[in-house]
Amino acid sequence: MSRALRRPPAPGVEWEFDKVTFSREYSRNVVTKLLVERAERGGWELARVHIGADGTRRVVLRRKIIRQARPDFYL
């Protein structure tokens, strides 16, 4: 998907990012299980995966931060 077709997030929605690195010693199945566990427990979703020439996996996870606007009558 090209950058021009992406929509900006809705007002009040921000993203929190987390970078995780797995060495080449971990199998694909183990990495998948670890990422699924993290997604189920923390609400993370997969944003990007980069597999380096040396076999390390650099994973970027993201999750939404929804900020509630304060009503005027509380001020």
Domain ranges in the chain are 9-67
| CA atoms of 57 and 22, how far apart (whole Å) | 5
Say which CATH topology domain 9-67 has. Answer: Defensin A-like (3.30.30)
Q: What does the pLDDT look like over 23-74, one tens digit per residue? A: 999 999 999 999 999 999 999 999 999 999 999 999 999 998 877 777 777 6
Half-sphere exposure of 45 (CA within 13 A, CB side): 5
pTM for this predicted structure: 0.72
pLDDT at 3: 42
- Choose among 21, 30, 29: nearest CA to 55: 21
| CA atoms of 31 and 25, how far apart (whole Å) | 10
